[in-house]
Structure formats: C-alpha cells, structure tokens
Chain A
Amino acid sequence: MENKEEASVNNILEIRGMSKSFGSIKAVDNVSLKVKTGEIVAVVGPNGAGKSTVMHTLSGVIRPDQGAILIDDSPVKIRGPKDSRQLGIEIVYQNLALINTLSVASNIHLGREILRGPSFLSWLDTDEMQTTSRRLITQLKLNLDPAQPVEGLSGGQRQAVALARAIFHQARFAVFDEPTAALGVIETRATLKVIEDFRDHGLGVIVVSHNLEDVFSITDRIVAMRAGRVVGERLTKMTSPDEIVGLMLGGDVDGENTEWSM
C-alpha cells in the first residue's frame, strides 16, 4: 500500500462529547472516543448500546445532535458519506456494502472510478480498474475474477471485496461494524488478518464486535459502551474478558463521561 509514509506521522480520529437521540431514545449520550493510526480499537457493548449509531456519525449516515468529530485536533464536517470518504475514513458495512448488479472491479472502484481523458467525459479506464482490482485481489489472497458480478459471491467473498475497496481508497481510518458476524471460521480468521493488515499498514481501525475472542486476539484497546455511554476503557493486554463483560453489565462503572487520556 502506498500510504506507508503517513503511518510514521500519527493521525488521530476523535469523537468528542457526541450525543444523538431518536425521538425519546437517547441512543448516544456524551460519547468520546479516539483512534490513532496504527492501532485497533474495539468498541463493545450489549445490543442497543449505541455502537452502530456512533459509527454511523463517522460515515455521515447519521448527523449527531451534539458533539464534534476531529482529525488531528481540528474539527471536521461530515455531512454525508462523500465527506467521510474524502477525509480518508472508510466504513466496511456488514450487509449494505455492495451493488449486486455490478462487477467486483466496479464495486471496488464505485464512487472513485479511475478515469482517462478529459474529466468532464468521466470516461472509465476499464483496463486500469481491472488491473488494480486484480492486484488487490491477489494481495488479499482471493480467488475472484474482477469482471464477475458480485451477486452470487459468498458472504466472505463479499466481505473481501469490501476490504479491497477500503485498501484501494487508501483510507487513513477504517471502521468495521461487526465484520465477522456472518462469517464462518475460516472467513473470520481471514477477515481478522486483513484488519490486522490494515493496522500494520498504518491505518487506524475501529472494530465493533460482539465476539470477545476476536476482540482480544487483534485489538490494542477496548472501549465498552452501555446504554449510550462509554462505561470503560482498557488496554487489551491489561484486561480480561471477564472484566470487559463486567463493564458491559455495569459492575464498576469507571470512565463514565469519558474524560480519559491516551
């Protein structure tokens, strides 16, 4: 990947004091979170804790009621998915990622087509996109034809196409919302490997997951949420699954309202 130099400069993506209500439900309540390039942060918590809602504010799908998103300490505006991508944030959705009727190559490049000729023609450079796709597919050790439509691909293969897309976009930050929820053992392992690769290539990664085993095997830091709030944060190597479960269940609530330092 081309963004190795960026890795040496640390970028920080931060959510500060974010709140979001849906009607009377306070889905997210004064949440603060940070991720640095080169680390994987897990966000865990029971169903309805507000994890996806927070991630959706990063993708621009949901606009928060309050709070700010900052990159390297300067506030950024994310009014929609386009802004988010331009800021180098790549969201890998579990289900809503791909256009079934388009090919693997088209999906990888969707919204960022490689063009040739004068830009107003938006003339596709199909050969170049095939080449790029093939390179990414090889990098991810997949057995896929870039020209094949994505419908009919298995869940794991679709996931891989989504990953190839994130790599192609040279994101600085990647967000995975339950990336392994629908995957088999082998596909899960491959996906976790890719997430680690992202980190090793210098991306900052946020992973939302219910699977503590996965979380403990790849992440550097764990943030626990409950009922819209951050209820604790631990370095992965300094904690245990039991402690994390305790935080999620609401045993000792520390770090509430989350003024923490890194």
Chain B
Amino acid sequence: MNRQVFLVIALILLCTLITVGQPRFLTVYNLLNVLEQAAVIGIVSAGVVMLMIGGGFDLSVGSGVVLGAYIVATAFKNELPTSLAISLALLGGAALGVVNGIGIAHLGIPSLIMTLGTLYAIRGGVLYLSGGETIGYRFPDVFTFIGKGDVVELPMPVIIVALVYIVFFVIMKKTSFGQYTIAVGTDSETAWRAGINAKRHLTTLYVISGTLAALAGIVLTARIDAATVRFGENYELQCIAAVVIGGTSLFGGRGTLPGTVLGVLFLAIVHNGINLLGVSPFLAVFAIGALLLFSATIDVAATLTKRT
C-alpha cells in the first residue's frame, strides 16, 4: 500500500481523536499554531530528506540551525545590513555542508561519525564564542517579519516552508538533479559509471542540507528576536524521525518530499494533541518512538523483498 495514503489516514484518525478529546484542536488559531511549530523543523527536514534519498545522513543539522542563528544575530549586532546578515548566515550553513561533503564523499569518513563530529564542533564553537549567552538585539522590522509577519493570515514561516517544499519538489521531479539524487542514493558506484559525478552530487546535497538548517535558524531568530545557543537541539533526531515516518528509505534511493511533509505534520500534531489533552508528554515521546520503529520495519521489510 502507498505510504502517503496510509499516513493521511493516520493523520485524519489522529486529528479526529484529539478533536473528540479537545474540540479546541480544530480551530484556525490552533491549526495555524501547529503549522507554525512544524515550519522550522519542516525547513530542516526538506534538506534531510533529499540527503537521505541521495544516500547521505546528517546529524549536524541542529548545529546548522544554531550556526545560522548565531551568524545572523552577530551580523546585526555589528550593524551589517539585513541582506548581508542573511547571506552570511546561509553561507555559514553551506560551508558546514561543504565540510561534511568533503569528509564523507571525498575522504570516505562514515557519515554518522563525520556529522556527529561537526554536530559537536559547531555547537561547541558557537557556545564558546557566545559564552553561552543569548544574543538579543533590536532587529529591524524587515528581518523580524520573516519570523513573525503574516501574509493574508498565513504566518511567514509557513509560507517559507511551503516555498522550500514546492521548489525542491519541482527540482526532484523535473530536473536531472532529482534523477541523479535517486541514482546516487540507490547505487553511487553505478551512478558514477553512468558518468555522474557522484561525490560532487553528494556534497551538493550536504550543502543544501546545511543551508536549509541555517535558514531555519534565521527564521527562529526572527521569530523570537534573539538567538540562543539552545536552538536546534535534538533537531537531527526529530527530522530523521519525520523523514522516516514519511516513508523515506534508510538505505537511500527512495523517498519523497510530500511524505516528509506528512511526517513533520504528524510529529507536530502529536505534540500539539498531547498539550491540548493534558496527557503526559512522555507518552508523546513513546508514541513517536513506536511510530518510527514501525516505519523502519516497513522499510526494511520492503527492501528485503525487493532484493533478489
């Protein structure tokens, strides 16, 4: 059965259950709140899913978030113009991706170790440089609009995440970049033999992942008017959970952006429902774990039957 259909049904069931327990769930205000909560993780997950389709794995995205936030806030503090501050932060995320890509694709360091290393190194670096202090500043309104503004009732973070998914959905479906991502993730040796620069392609995917993480950090900073060193903590796990629940294979080569949207929504709604219903948040953690194991089992089973 199609994973996306399954997820939509599960989401409808979940929403129905929560609404029965707490009708306040089904208000525009609350649903927008859910979307806004989901937006930041959603932006990061878009990078993570493409990377995983391409056979990569990134634990350092949470550090990409804090790096982006830290750079943009510091840039403003030094009175750089908004466009430059944002560009520098995105470049910082991209640079993180380049480092990951070179280590993994070119030097052959296992992705788990490489990105665990950059996870610690970047967060440690940011902690050291900031002294653990939150960087608050009177950011210009054009900047905070990114995190707090509304366009026809829709919060900006939701618009941004929607744009990210639309753009990358089209790229994955309609361009050779999408084909190469699937090819490299399925079998990078064969892709290379077909004339694709597999190492460079994988590096590009890490760069996209790092850049989107930094973008999420920028949005977070704009939303709460400050950059804190706790931004992005545990994001790697939440993103990977969302991506895997969304039906993306752990073995590379298979996965979709729409599935990831559903996975991200699923996690956000579980969190929201637990809040609204006053259920123990520990149960949410358990529920997500159970769902993740379920998704991973389906993936492994599907892969085993397909292998000959």
Contact = CB atoms under 8 A, between A and B. Distances in A.
Same complex: yes
A124 B191 contact: no
Q: Which of B179, B191, B254 has the most CB of A within 10 A?
A: B179
A101 B195 contact: no
Interface of B: 174-177, 179, 182-183, 185-187, 189-197, 253-254, 306
A100 interface: yes
For the residues of A in contact with B, the DSSP-based class is loop
B175 A59 contact: no
A91 B192 CA distance: 13
Contacts of B177: 122
Given A96-B190, A99-B190, A111-B194, 19 more contacts: A59-B193, A80-B192, A81-B192, A81-B195, A85-B195, A91-B193, A96-B189, A99-B183, A99-B191, A99-B253, A101-B185, A101-B186, A102-B183, A110-B179, A110-B195, A110-B196, A122-B175, A126-B174, A151-B306
Contact of B176 (A82, A91, A124): A124
Interface of A: 59, 61, 80-82, 85, 91, 93, 96-102, 106, 110-113, 115, 121-124, 126, 151
Contact of A81 (B175, B193, B254): B193
A106 B192 contact: no
Nearest to A169: B195
A204 B301 CA distance: 44
Contacts of A99: 182-183, 186-187, 190-191, 194, 253
A189 B284 CA distance: 61
Contact of A93 (B174, B193, B195, B253): B193
B187 A82 contact: no
14 contacts: A61-B193, A81-B193, A81-B194, A93-B193, A96-B187, A98-B190, A99-B182, A99-B191, A112-B195, A122-B175, A122-B176, A122-B177, A124-B174, A124-B176
A63 B224 CA distance: 56
Closest 10 CB pairs of A and B: A111-B195, A111-B194, A82-B195, A122-B176, A101-B253, A113-B176, A110-B194, A99-B183, A101-B186, A122-B175
A115 B180 CA distance: 14
For the residues of B in contact with A, the DSSP-based class is helix
Contact of A101 (B174, B182, B197): B182
Contacts of A93: 193
A81 B194 CA distance: 7
A144 B161 CA distance: 39
B104 to A, nearest CB: 19
A96 B189 CA distance: 8
Nearest to A149: B306
Nearest to A100: B186
Contacts of B192: 80-81
Q: Which of B177, B189, B194, B197 has the most CB of A within 10 A?
A: B194
Contacts of A80: 192
Nearest to B197: A82
Contacts of B189: 96
Given A123-B174, A124-B174, A151-B306, A102 B193 contact: no
Contacts of A102: 179, 182-183, 186
A244 B185 CA distance: 43
Contacts of A101: 182, 185-186, 253-254
A85 B185 CA distance: 22
B193 A100 contact: no
Contacts of B306: 100, 151
A124 B190 contact: no
Contacts of A115: 176
B187 to A, nearest CB: 6
Q: Which of A59, A101, A121, A124 has the most CB of B within 10 A?
A: A101
A100 B194 contact: no
Contacts of B197: 82
A180 B192 CA distance: 24
